[in-house]
């Protein structure tokens, strides 16, 4: 074990490493580590957290850490003050603390200014096809490697559906973390036990705070646990500021990207008209996600232990919009079951479908005139005509009726 005797600065015994914005500088053959994390720019100066770990015999540390605290890496005065503090903490003036801190800060500043180099896209190694496909949980399609948002009003079972997705993915071999800003681990454990019988899926629970302040801890948990997917419930409690703020929303998504795995974020709805199109808050909640789903509860059920929820795909950057999903959720004292149902068969949910989808469902009963179809769907006749023209693969015109009025029919029905 190295002791604190006369040890000058030795550049040959140092190594410098960087990983995901975190820099480590090892000196004296691994005896001292300087770690820079949580870096940010303020008025052109680079600030961050500097942790100094020391394994020298006779040096008093806390769990191996000699000192940790914020530092202006750009300030020579701040570097001198920190070197003086380290010498006092280590109770030695013989180690060239200033020499080590100077080299470390200069390397960090150089790396931060350089940033990530440009990448030639043809040289990027494309992973196997499995990495590009979406997860499919009862029809809810989620990108594997990018952020998705599930939003809806209170009482639409968003958190329950997110927890079910976490358990289902875990059963398929994924390692899922539930980063929760609302419920505690006991409440989530009970709900997980009601959703899944037998051996419970090993979902990792993490009590979370504002993500922008907690991102380093989340990244460490992801690395330590080997997580492959994360669920954040909910963004209203994890945003550093008002969700209406574009700056707070941007910070949130930058933090989620730093975590480095695919993620589902639970959000609420805006007030007023068209609140089923985008999550509550800044427009960047919708723009920043690669996929968004809207959750809607069907009208009041005579049986309070049974709910029907519709999930409607509002945005898809990585592929086509997916069909709406209906979920029948039934509660007992000991269990919760979720099964898929047809949204078109639930009147309260069918009205949220696009017009062509409602036309397709109605025409399954047989051909109808445009006027009759418009009346049943509470739509304008010209809207019916335009939808039929856009979807010629679904709808066809049937003539030769005795009254001389043509009907619309499904292509598949006419072919059969």
CATH number of the domain within which 238 lies? 3.40.50.300
Residue 6 in any domain: the answer is: no
Distance separating the N- and C-terminal Cα atoms of the chain: 84
> Minimal CA–CA distance to 224: which of 177, 163, 172?
177
Measured CA to CA, the distance from residue 212 to residue 255 in angstroms comes to 6
Measured CA to CA, the distance from residue 149 to residue 243 in angstroms comes to 14
Measured CA to CA, the distance from residue 364 to residue 352 in angstroms comes to 19
Note down the domain range covering 87. Answer: 11-114
Residue 1 in any domain: the answer is: no
Is the dihedral angle over the CA atoms 330, 331, 332, 337 positive or is it negative? positive
> Minimal CA–CA distance to 395: which of 411, 379, 374?
411
Measured CA to CA, the distance from residue 169 to residue 155 in angstroms comes to 24
- Confidence at 415, pLDDT banded by 50, 70, 90: low
Residue 84 in any domain: the answer is: yes
**What tens digit of pLDDT does each residue of 273-318 get?**
677 889 999 999 999 999 999 999 998 667 889 999 999 999 999 8
What's the pLDDT at 128? 65
CATH number for position 383: 1.10.10.10
Beta bridge partners of 23: 18, 36
Measured CA to CA, the distance from residue 88 to residue 94 in angstroms comes to 11
Residue 143 in any domain: the answer is: yes
Pick the more confident residue, 393 or 22.
393
- Residues 67, 195, single domain; the answer is no
- Is the pLDDT score of 142 beyond 90? yes
- Residues 185, 103, single domain; the answer is no
pTM flag (> 0.85)? no
- Residues 257, 333, single domain; the answer is yes
- Residues 231, 165, single domain; the answer is yes
DSSP letter string, 104-129: HHHHHHHHHHH-SPP--GGGSPPPPG
**Which stretch of DSSP H or E encloses residue 337?**
strand 336-341
Pick the more confident residue, 11 or 278.
278
Residue 3 in any domain: the answer is: no
Mean pLDDT is lowest, of 12-21, 107-116, 322-331, 369-378, for 12-21
- Residues 251, 197, single domain; the answer is yes
For residue 241, give every residue at least 6 positions away whose Cβ sits within 8 Å of its Cβ, in sequence order, or none: 247, 248, 251
- Confidence at 413, pLDDT banded by 50, 70, 90: low
What size, in residues, is the chain? 416
Q: In the structure encoding, which two tokens stand for residue 12, read together?
A: 């040959």
- Residues 245, 163, single domain; the answer is yes
- Confidence at 13, pLDDT banded by 50, 70, 90: low
Q: Give the total number of structural domains in the chain.
A: 3
Task: Name the CA radius of gyration of the chain, rounded.
Answer: 29
- Residues 143, 292, single domain; the answer is yes
- Residues 168, 282, single domain; the answer is yes
What's the pLDDT at 131? 54
- Is the pLDDT score of 103 beyond 90? yes
- Confidence at 130, pLDDT banded by 50, 70, 90: low
Measured CA to CA, the distance from residue 149 to residue 361 in angstroms comes to 28
- Residues 326, 193, single domain; the answer is yes
Q: What percent of the chain has pLDDT over 70?
A: 93
- Is the pLDDT score of 327 beyond 90? yes
**What tens digit of pLDDT does each residue of 231-264 get?**
999 898 999 989 999 999 999 998 899 898 999 9
Residue at a domain's end among 349, 373, 401: 349
- Residues 152, 245, single domain; the answer is yes
Pick the more confident residue, 91 or 233.
233
Q: Let me know: does 227 contact 197? Beta carbons within 8 Å.
A: no
Residue at a domain's end among 296, 316, 349: 349
- Residues 282, 387, single domain; the answer is no
Instruction: Calculate mean pLDDT across residues 349-361.
Output: 88
- Residues 93, 177, single domain; the answer is no
Residue 263 in any domain: the answer is: yes
Q: In the structure encoding, which two tokens stand for residue 114, read together?
A: 């350089």
**What tens digit of pLDDT does each residue of 180-218 get?**
999 999 999 999 999 998 899 999 999 988 898 888 789
- Is the pLDDT score of 7 beyond 70? no
Is the dihedral angle over the CA atoms 6, 11, 14, 20 positive or is it negative? positive
Residue 142 in any domain: the answer is: yes
- Confidence at 5, pLDDT banded by 50, 70, 90: very low
Residue at a domain's end among 55, 85, 114: 114
Residue 125 in any domain: the answer is: no
- Is the pLDDT score of 146 beyond 90? yes
């Amino acid at each position: 074990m190295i002791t604190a005797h006369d040890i000058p600065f030795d550049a040959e015994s140092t190594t410098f490493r960087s990983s995901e914005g975190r820099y480590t500088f090892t000196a004296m053959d691994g005896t001292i580590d300087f770690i820079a994390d949580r870096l940010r720019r303020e008025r052109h100066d680079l600030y961050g957290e500097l942790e100094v770990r020391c394994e020298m015999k006779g040096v008093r540390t806390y769990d191996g850490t000699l000192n940790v605290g914020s530092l202006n890496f750009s300030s020579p005065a701040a570097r001198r003050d920190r070197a003086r503090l380290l010498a006092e903490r280590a109770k030695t003036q013989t180690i060239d603390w200033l020499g080590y801190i100077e080299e470390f800060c200069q390397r960090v500043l150089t790396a931060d200014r350089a940033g990530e180099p440009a990448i030639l896209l043809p040289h990027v190694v494309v992973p196997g096809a499995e990495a590009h496909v979406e997860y499919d949980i009862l029809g809810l399609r989620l990108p594997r490697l990018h952020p998705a948002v599930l939003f809806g009003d209170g009482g639409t079972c968003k958190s329950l559906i997110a927890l079910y997705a976490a358990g289902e993915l875990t059963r398929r071999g994924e390692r899922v973390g539930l980063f929760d800003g609302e419920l505690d681990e006991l409440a989530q454990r009970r709900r997980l036990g009601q959703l899944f019988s037998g051996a419970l899926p090993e979902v990792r629970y993490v009590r979370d705070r504002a993500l922008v302040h907690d991102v380093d801890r989340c990244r460490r948990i992801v690395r330590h646990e080997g997580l492959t997917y994360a669920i954040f419930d909910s963004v209203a409690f994890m945003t550093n500021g008002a969700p209406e703020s574009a700056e707070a929303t941007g910070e949130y998504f930058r933090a989620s990207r730093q975590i480095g795995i695919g993620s589902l974020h639970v959000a609420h709805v805006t007030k007023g008209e068209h609140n089923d199109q985008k999550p509550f808050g800044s427009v960047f909640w919708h723009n920043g996600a690669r996929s968004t789903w809207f959750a809607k509860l069907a009208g009041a059920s005579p049986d309070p232990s049974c709910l029907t929820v519709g999930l409607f795909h509002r945005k898809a950057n990585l592929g086509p919009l997916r069909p709406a999903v209906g979920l029948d959720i039934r509660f007992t004292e000991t269990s919760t079951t979720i099964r898929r149902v047809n949204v078109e068969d639930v009147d309260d949910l069918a009205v949220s479908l696009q017009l062509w989808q409602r036309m397709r469902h109605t025409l399954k009963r047989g051909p109808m005139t445009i006027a009759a179809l418009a009346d049943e769907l509470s739509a304008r006749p010209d809207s019916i005509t335009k939808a039929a023209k856009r979807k010629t693969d679904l709808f066809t015109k049937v003539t030769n009726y005795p009254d001389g009025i043509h009907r619309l029919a499904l292509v598949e029905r006419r072919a059969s």
